[in-house]
Amino acid sequence: MTPLSGFAAVILQYHHVSSETPPVTSISPEQFLQHMTYLKDNHFKVVRLEVLVDKIRKKQPIDDKTIVITFDDAYNNVYQNARPILKKFDWPYTVFINPKYSDKGYSRHMTWKQLNQIAKEKATLANHTLSHDYLVRNPSNRPPKRWLYQMLDDIELAESRLKAITGQNHKMLAYPYGEFSLALTRQLMKRGYVGFGQHSGAVGHYTNLARIPRFPASGIYANLDKLKLKMESLPFAIKALGNADMVIKQNPPTLTIAVKVEDFLAKNVQCFIGSARAKVSWTSEDRFTVTSPNPLPKERSRYNCTAPSISKPGRFYWFSQPWLNLL
Ligand SMILES: [Zn+2]
């Protein structure tokens, strides 16, 4: 069946919900309530993450303005501060867990008892690896293949621990720090996993399930005036990506995007790296390349591409390519 385009879901990513934790990964309970109130007042439809993934897999229609709420790291303040708000709205949400933290009883994180309790309410519990290691960086300079299989074992162990204690086994993995590689995602897809990053973008039937985008909504991204546009963003119908391994081999990398050009004009596609305009070159009717004008900085960065919708004025198609520069 031909994938459907034009339907839009957005996944929001939160960490801490507290005024006392590091601002860069936190949102205050008041501001979190403000986000949720905005979603309700503006008729967004909040669904479970596994329901959205299932619809993408089965090519079933996705309601426009679908939202998924996710939290990484299972912080105790999510239980204390976000849970009561989400209960009030009667909305589902997903918590990505590092089982080792709950096994060790770290006080900043939810206990297994708390996790099982939120699961009985409306929470989905999912995999954030056993102990939150970097999946791509190889600290001990082990042979790359050995490191890859060690990380895959870590992910599988986390999944079986989740299943054993909570009964939940969705094979949904949020990459720690949003870092992944092509070698890793290929193995994960073979094993039936879907993977979530921290690069921005809307989700639809063309979304690659190995690298599902989420909009960070904490810290500097918590500002609702800016977040509104992201909540309403639309997914490009991307048919193929070339040179899209997050771990760059050349600097700057040139990304090739083959896309269905519908409901936007090719000339209106703009891409940025930080605040700098990236060069967009259309090489055919449905294919363009993006290159940063400058070498990428060390560590993580991304190309963000947007185009205004013709049929939905004020809304934007949105795609982001994450990069990891370890050169
Ligand atoms: Zn994390």
Within this chain, do residues 83 and 172 fall inside the same structural domain, yes or no?
Answer: yes
187 vs 200: CA distance, rounded Å: 23
Within this chain, do residues 280 and 186 fall inside the same structural domain, yes or no?
Answer: no
Within this chain, do residues 163 and 212 fall inside the same structural domain, yes or no?
Answer: yes
Task: Give per-residue pLDDT as tens, 279-296.
Answer: 999 999 999 999 999 999
Do 25 and 229 form a contact (C-beta atoms < 8 A)?
A: no
**CA distances (Å), 188 to each of 100, 149, 152, 180, 192, in order?**
21, 11, 8, 11, 6
Do 63 and 252 form a contact (C-beta atoms < 8 A)?
A: no
Within this chain, do residues 187 and 149 fall inside the same structural domain, yes or no?
Answer: yes
CATH code, 63:
3.20.20.370
Beta bridge partners of 172: 194
% the chain with pLDDT above 70: 98
Task: Give per-residue pLDDT as tens, 42-80.
Answer: 999 999 999 999 999 999 999 999 999 999 999 999 999
CATH code, 262:
2.60.40.10
In a domain, 4, yes or no: no
Q: Which of 235, 257, 276 is the last residue of a domain?
A: 235
- Domain extent for 32: 9-235
How far, in Å, is the centroid of ligand 1 from the Cα of 174? 8
In a domain, 128, yes or no: yes
Within this chain, do residues 203 and 252 fall inside the same structural domain, yes or no?
Answer: no
> Is this prediction's pTM over 0.85?
yes
How far, in Å, is the centroid of ligand 1 from the Cα of 232? 25
How far, in Å, is the centroid of ligand 1 from the Cα of 205? 26
Give the residue with greater pLDDT, 3 vs 89. 89
The structural domain count of the chain equals 2
How far, in Å, is the centroid of ligand 1 from the Cα of 270? 30
In a domain, 72, yes or no: yes
In a domain, 99, yes or no: yes
In a domain, 2, yes or no: no
What integer pLDDT is reported at residue 184 of this predicted model? Answer: 96
Q: Which of 235, 259, 292 is the last residue of a domain?
A: 235
In a domain, 159, yes or no: yes
What integer pLDDT is reported at residue 141 of this predicted model? Answer: 79
Within this chain, do residues 99 and 221 fall inside the same structural domain, yes or no?
Answer: yes
What integer pLDDT is reported at residue 72 of this predicted model? Answer: 98
In a domain, 63, yes or no: yes
Ion ligand 1, residues whose Cβ is below 5 A away = 72-73, 176
How large is the average pLDDT for residues 116-128?
97
In a domain, 36, yes or no: yes
Rg of the chain on CA atoms, in Å: 19
Within this chain, do residues 132 and 228 fall inside the same structural domain, yes or no?
Answer: yes
Confidence of residue 139 (pLDDT cuts 50, 70, 90): confident
What integer pLDDT is reported at residue 5 of this predicted model? Answer: 53
How far, in Å, is the centroid of ligand 1 from the Cα of 43? 29
How far, in Å, is the centroid of ligand 1 from the Cα of 138? 18
* Continuous H helices in 74-181: 76-77, 83-89, 99-104, 112-120, 144-166
How far, in Å, is the centroid of ligand 1 from the Cα of 8? 25
pLDDT at 96 over 60: yes
Within this chain, do residues 203 and 258 fall inside the same structural domain, yes or no?
Answer: no
Q: Which of 235, 265, 300 is the last residue of a domain?
A: 235
What integer pLDDT is reported at residue 108 of this predicted model? Answer: 95
Q: What mean pLDDT value characterizes the chain?
A: 95
How far, in Å, is the centroid of ligand 1 from the Cα of 78? 14
How far, in Å, is the centroid of ligand 1 from the Cα of 96? 8
Task: Give per-residue pLDDT as tens, 215-251.
Answer: 999 999 999 999 999 999 999 999 999 989 999 999 9
What integer pLDDT is reported at residue 159 of this predicted model? Answer: 98
Within this chain, do residues 218 and 258 fall inside the same structural domain, yes or no?
Answer: no
Q: Which of 293, 264, 288 is nearest to 278 (CA)?
A: 293
What integer pLDDT is reported at residue 2 of this predicted model? Answer: 47
How large is the average pLDDT for residues 257-283?
95
